[in-house]
Amino acid sequence: MQALVQAIKQANSLIAFTGAGMDTESRLPDFRGPEGLWRNHDPRTLASTQALAGNYPLFQQFYADRIKALHEAEPHVGHTILADWEKSGRLQAIITQNVSGLHAAAGSKNVIELHGSIRRIHCSLCGKAAGEEAFLAKQACSCGGRLRPGVTLFGESLPQAAFQRADEALSRADLILILGTSLEVFPAAQLPFIYPMLRAYVDLAAKPDPRIDHSYAQPIGPFLDRLDRALTAD
């Protein structure tokens, strides 16, 4: 870890890139693990434009359950440390594949949500914003349209504005912390490797990768806690 501590101290622009594994330590299920959200379901039948149009009750129930799970979740120590690093100027931005909003809940401001946010509800027909309570209550928009969360569904294009912001942040970075992602979801998975920089990867399933300079198969929250203590020890 000492080599990573020195790299962070010397970095001019540090970026965090987070995935589902970041949120599992807040007791939210991930997508591909043994208890993952997709384990017993075909995502194309749940989180898709086809479900929104053709099987809305199933679509609504799936996302309602996810939103209710978030009501029981809180940011863990790793989320808090990243927020503190941003406040102190050590961290420049968080690029996340997660839709939970837990980074913002921890106090982070410059969060780039590649796949949107499940907490932002709007009408699928007219685009009007709506409250989370209306979606959970299975209400329709005043125009008659179906309410949906502001996440990227299977069958939809990824939000180009978010990817542009991510690209701009990464173009200035000289160190990236890759936290809790399988690096299997494209095109997001290619982002940490577009520009030359040092790369550190922390994930329970982390394996040696020639593209990664520092790899740690450890829980993210405790690892970031130790890393933060080491950074402030001097």
Enumerate the active-site residues: 115
Nearest-5° Cα angle at 174, 187 to 9: 135
Q: Which helix (H) or strand (E) holds 23?
A: helix 20-24
Nearest to 214 by CA among 233, 197, 231, 189: 197
Using alpha carbons only, what angle is made at residue 20 by residues 74 and 153, rounded to the nearest 5 degrees?
Answer: 105
Rounded to 10°, the helix 2-10/220-231 angle is 60
Rounded distance between C-alpha atoms, residue 61 and residue 65, angstroms: 6
User: In this structure, which amino acid lies at residue 159?
Assistant: P
Q: Which residues contact 140 (CB under 8 A, 6 or more apart)?
A: 146, 147
Distance CA(59)–CA(17), nearest Å, equals: 28
Q: Structure tokens of 207? A: 């394996």
